[in-house]
């Protein structure tokens, strides 16, 4: 059966070159990078080279990169680690209503410990009101956490401007930039970031590895206590192969940036234009201005049908897309991100996200365009919604 | 072109065998599980925790079986619908002095409506379940017929099925005994072959429905009177939802003879009790009758079953203008319980039914 993968915001395939780079560390080079002997030395340089590549991609220093087990751990470390370190300074955090659960749930766990958290709302296009954000900053505010790009709509947030607000008020600034890596130019210094979370598997590295950028001199309590790895900021033996893969993927994200983003943008535009041309009563969820969205993401609501039914039909035709976020049992619920934009429940439940990636082709998009309108028409004809 | 069938998989033996058998028979099988109730937080008073037909453990089992059969598998979240149509009704019925039957309702409103629609949305030709019942052509129409395993027959729970639903439904286990199904499970090497039977009411896994209702609706001041059939007030009770017709235990009343609940009056908040002989009645009324034959206009002879495990008894059904019916048993029956379904049979065929008023 045809298999077309349009769910790159969920995860991406490991690039062949990334896997090649990793393999020696899954075979012969087994050492612990913390060891002083030959076995350790054989791998520690690979870990540090990877650290340099991650740092180079986002204009950080290698010493500012801490490897983690995933993006969620990086977000948890940024938020809870800052909270632990700064709790005497104040106990207020500002974030947005549309963050990834790794951020939202970290904030909620702090709320349960007595912290105050402000969840900045979004408008109907999913954008923030920066004046409102600034008005929320108080004497007790210690952290602003705003994602660089939204995983569901692809919306890009004005990180540089938020960085200015954070600097002006002397507040720490964290971003979950997990969806932005490889899809947007990233410079953590230019936008005054203190903390930024990365996840490997969203851009061609394997699952099980992430990183947190921690600006030097930033106070942070570790989340995982253990050995002296990662300059005492994250205990646990390094996931050497994963880290090496992450480094290689960052290298590609830097070297192929223009070409890769142009290519995926044209595919996304082909899909977006094609669907709007052939299907009535569909609504874009996110910024109408494509320049304010990730180049690979398209989130649409198909009026009158259930997004879940459309997804299952697409799956049976070999097309992988997504909707909302999967919960414990694998069921789908209306996306809190889409409902936060004021989209009514029926349209929120009618939403489907297409997120493209480097291995997609124009022919694949054509195939989707050739079958999707008929599925929508059929579902609408039998719908009781 | 293979016929496509969506199998409603609960994670139990019956629906797992259903999926495997249909696949063996050449169908393109898709597994689907309704997530209707999350038990992850449920723990009984004694600390025992439960799996039940809709817990995450069972979703896990269903998924693993589907994976072993290499079929697509989807979990559909019906928690809201289940709450609205089944749980809320369950509580409302108890507060109205009736004893609800949530399984019939779940089949009617969820499985054979919402889930069937999901199946049709996937261009399925059929939906299949692991029920022990049969859909056979009788008198040139589709008829709901008892499963051949008398001990397992579930036709009672399915009396609401319409001809349109039956035309889209497969019950591959209806012609088998439970033992044969277990043998198939072993033959297919299904991981759930030895799994225990599920509970009668999946969302009350410890059987303590009173506690469930109080968790749902809160325990309030719902005290009322125990009143004897002869009109004498015998004491106070702590809420009519705690009682069901035929109940003897837990009344805490002293009387010359053992007393049973023989009726509940929600308007006066009274639980009516009486001696054992008063439990048996020969006549009662139904409302909201459904027919799988041409709706009768004159009295009709049937065998009538008034709860799942009840052996059908000959009765005369007289249709009423309001869509209900009055029933006269050939001999008085114990435990005619408002809120339960009464289902009519002609031999092994379900010809209709209704709800005991």
Mean pLDDT of chain A, nearest integer: 95
Spatial separation of the C-alpha atoms in residues B144 and B165, rounded to whole Å = 11
Residue B133 near residue B15 (C-beta atoms within 8 A): no
Q: What is the mean pLDDT of residues B330-355?
A: 96
Per-residue pLDDT of A294-317, as tens digits, reads 999 999 999 999 999 999 999 999
Distance from CA of B33 to the nearest CA of A (A): 9
Query: Which is more confidently placed, A186 or A330?
Result: A186
Check CB contact under 8 Å for B118 and A332. no
CA-CA distances (angstroms) from residue A51 to A67, A236, A254? 8, 16, 14
| CB contact set of A307 (below 8 Å; sequence gap of 6+) | A301, A323, A324, A332, A349, A350, A351, A352
Considering the four listed CATH numbers 3.60.150.10, 3.30.56.10, 3.40.640.10, 2.60.40.290, the one that applies to the domain covering A16-255 is 3.40.640.10
The ranges of chain A annotated as CATH 3.90.1150.10 are: 4-12+257-382
Q: What is the mean pLDDT of residues A237-241?
A: 97
pLDDT at site B55: 66
* pTM of structure: 0.90
Mean pLDDT of chain B, nearest integer: 92
- Residues of B in Cβ contact (< 8 Å) with A328: 38, 40, 56
| A16 lies within 8 A of chain B by CB | no
Does the pLDDT value for residue B68 go beyond 80?
yes
Q: What is the mean pLDDT of residues B202-217?
A: 88
pLDDT at site A297: 98
Instruction: Report the alpha-carbon angle B32-B38-B40, nearest 5.
Output: 125
Does the pLDDT value for residue B95 go beyond 60?
yes
Band (pLDDT 50/70/90 cuts) for residue B89 is very high
pLDDT at site B303: 98
Q: What is the mean pLDDT of residues B110-129?
A: 97
Backbone angles phi, psi at A278, to 5 degrees: -110, -15
- The pair of structure tokens assigned to A30 is 């087994």
Check CB contact under 8 Å for A331 and B77. yes
CB atoms within 10 A of CB A198: 31
Q: What is the mean pLDDT of residues B193-197?
A: 85
| A314 lies within 8 A of chain B by CB | no
H-type helices in B198-326, by residue range? 209-217
Per-residue pLDDT of B229-266, as tens digits, reads 999 999 999 899 999 999 998 888 888 899 999 999 99
Band (pLDDT 50/70/90 cuts) for residue A325 is low
Residue B285 near residue B246 (C-beta atoms within 8 A): no
B103 is catalytic: no
Q: Which of A36, A97, A55, A45 is nearest to A244 (CA)?
A: A45
Q: What is the mean pLDDT of residues A187-196?
A: 98
Spatial separation of the C-alpha atoms in residues B147 and A242, rounded to whole Å = 56
pLDDT at site B51: 45
Spatial separation of the C-alpha atoms in residues B62 and B54, rounded to whole Å = 10
pLDDT at site A215: 97
Topology (CATH) of A4-12+257-382:
3.90.1150
CB atoms within 10 A of CB B285: 18
CA-CA distances (angstroms) from residue A171 to A90, A174, A345? 10, 10, 36
Spatial separation of the C-alpha atoms in residues A39 and A31, rounded to whole Å = 5
pLDDT at site A328: 47
Determine what percent of chain A is predicted with pLDDT higher than 70.
Answer: 97
Does the pLDDT value for residue B50 go beyond 70?
no
| CB contact set of B309 (below 8 Å; sequence gap of 6+) | none
Burial status of residue A100 (CB atoms within 10 A of its CB: 0-12, 13-18, 19 or more): buried
| A379 lies within 8 A of chain B by CB | yes
Structural domains in chain B, CATH included, are 4-187 (3.40.50.620), 220-274 (2.30.30.280), 280-356 (2.40.30.10)
- Residues of B in Cβ contact (< 8 Å) with A329: 33, 35, 38, 56, 59, 75, 77
Indicate which of B61, B79, B121, B124 best probes the interface with A, i.e. most A CBs within 10 Å of its own CB.
B121
| B29 lies within 8 A of chain A by CB | no
ipTM score of complex: 0.86
Per-residue pLDDT of A73-114, as tens digits, reads 999 999 999 999 999 999 999 999 999 999 999 999 999 999
pLDDT at site B53: 43
pLDDT at site A198: 98
Does the pLDDT value for residue B44 go beyond 70?
no
The ranges of chain A annotated as CATH 3.40.640.10 are: 16-255
> How would you classify residue B59: left for phi > 0, otherwise alpha for psi between -120 and 50, otherwise beta?
alpha
Per-residue pLDDT of B155-185, as tens digits, reads 999 999 999 999 999 999 999 999 999 999 9
Per-residue pLDDT of B326-342, as tens digits, reads 999 999 999 899 999 99
Query: Which 3 state secondary structure label does DSSP give A280?
Result: coil
Q: Which of B203, B198, B154, B205 is nearest to B10 (CA)?
A: B198
CB atoms within 10 A of CB A231: 11
Does the pLDDT value for residue A55 go beyond 60?
yes
Please state whether beta strands B28-35 and A351-355 pair in parallel, antiparallel, or not at all (unpaired).
unpaired
């Amino acid at each position: 059966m045809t298999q077309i993968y349009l769910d790159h915001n969920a995860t991406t395939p490991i690039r062949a070159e990334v896997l090649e780079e990793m393999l020696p560390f899954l075979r012969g080079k087994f050492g612990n990078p913390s060891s002083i002997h030959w076995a350790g030395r054989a791998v520690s340089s690979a870990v540090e080279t990877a650290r340099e590549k991650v740092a180079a991609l986002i204009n950080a220093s290698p010493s500012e990169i801490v490897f983690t087990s995933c993006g969620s751990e990086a977000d948890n470390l940024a938020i809870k680690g800052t909270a632990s370190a700064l709790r005497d300074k104040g106990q207020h955090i500002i974030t947005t209503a549309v963050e990834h659960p790794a951020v939202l749930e970290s904030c909620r766990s702090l709320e349960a410990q007595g912290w105050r958290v402000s969840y900045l709302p979004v408008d109907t296009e999913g954008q923030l009101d920066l004046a409102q954000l600034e008005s929320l900053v108080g004497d007790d505010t210690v952290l602003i956490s705003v994602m660089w790009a939204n995983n569901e709509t692809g919306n890009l947030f004005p990180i540089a401007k938020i960085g200015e607000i954070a600097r002006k008020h002397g507040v720490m600034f964290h971003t979950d930039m997990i969806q932005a890596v490889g899809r947007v130019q990233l410079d953590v210094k230019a936008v005054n970031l203190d903390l930024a979370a990365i996840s490997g598997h969203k851009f061609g590295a394997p699952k099980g590895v992430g990183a947190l950028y921690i600006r030097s001199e930033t106070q942070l309590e570790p989340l995982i206590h253990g050995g002296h790895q990662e300059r005492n900021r994250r205990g646990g033996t390094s996931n050497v192969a994963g880290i090496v893969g992450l480094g290689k993927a960052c290298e590609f994200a830097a070297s192929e940036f223009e070409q890769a983003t142009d290519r995926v943008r044209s595919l996304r535009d082909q899909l977006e234009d094609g669907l709007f041309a052939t299907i009535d009563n569909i609504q874009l969820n996110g910024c109408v201005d494509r320049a304010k969205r990730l180049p690979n993401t398209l989130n649409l609501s198909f009026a009158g049908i259930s997004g879940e039914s459309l997804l299952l039909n697409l799956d049976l035709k070999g097309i992988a897309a997504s909707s909302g976020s999967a919960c414990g049992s694998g069921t789908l619920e209306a996306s809190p991100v889409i409902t936060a934009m004021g989209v009514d429940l029926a349209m929120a439940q009618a939403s489907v996200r297409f997120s493209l990636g480097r291995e997609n082709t124009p022919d694949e998009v054509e195939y989707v365009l050739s079958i999707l309108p008929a599925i929508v028409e059929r579902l609408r004809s039998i719908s009781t919604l | 072109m293979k016929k496509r069938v969506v199998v409603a998989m609960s994670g139990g033996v019956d629906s797992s065998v259903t999926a495997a058998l249909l696949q063996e028979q050449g169908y393109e099988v898709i597994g689907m599980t309704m997530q209707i109730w999350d038990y992850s937080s449920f723990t009984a008073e004694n600390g025992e925790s439960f799996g039940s037909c809709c817990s995450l453990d069972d979703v896990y089992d269903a998924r693993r079986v589907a994976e072993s059969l290499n079929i697509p598998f989807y979990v559909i979240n019906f928690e809201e619908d289940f709450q609205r149509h089944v749980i809320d009704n369950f509580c409302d019925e108890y507060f109205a002095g009736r004893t609800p039957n949530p399984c019939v309702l779940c089949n009617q409103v969820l499985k054979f409506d919402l889930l069937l629609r999901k199946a049709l949305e996937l261009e399925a030709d059929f939906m299949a379940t692991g029920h022990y019942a049969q859909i056979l052509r009788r008198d040139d129409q589709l008829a709901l017929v008892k499963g051949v395993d008398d001990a397992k027959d579930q036709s009672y729970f399915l009396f609401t099925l319409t001809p349109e639903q039956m035309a889209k439904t497969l019950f591959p286990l209806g012609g088998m005994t439970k033992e044969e199904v277990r043998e198939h499970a072993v033959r297919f090497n299904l991981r759930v072959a030895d799994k225990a039977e599920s509970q009668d009411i999946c969302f009350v896994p410890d059987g303590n429905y009173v506690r469930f209702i109080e968790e749902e609706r809160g325990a309030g001041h719902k005290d009322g009177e125990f009143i004897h059939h002869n009109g004498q007030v015998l004491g106070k009770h702590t809420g009519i939802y705690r009682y069901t017709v035929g109940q003897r235990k837990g009344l805490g009343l002293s009387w010359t003879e053992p007393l049973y609940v023989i009726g509940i009056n929600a308007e006066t908040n009274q639980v009516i009790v009486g001696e054992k002989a008063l439990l048996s009645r020969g006549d009662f009324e139904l409302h909201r009758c459904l027919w799988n034959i041409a709706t009768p206009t004159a009295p009709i002879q049937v065998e009538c079953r008034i709860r799942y495990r009840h052996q059908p008894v000959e009765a005369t059904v007289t249709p009423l203008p309001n869509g209900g019916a009055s029933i006269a048993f050939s001999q008085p029956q114990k435990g005619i319980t408002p809120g339960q379904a009464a289902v009519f049979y002609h031999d092994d065929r379900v010809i209709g039914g209704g709800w005991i008023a």
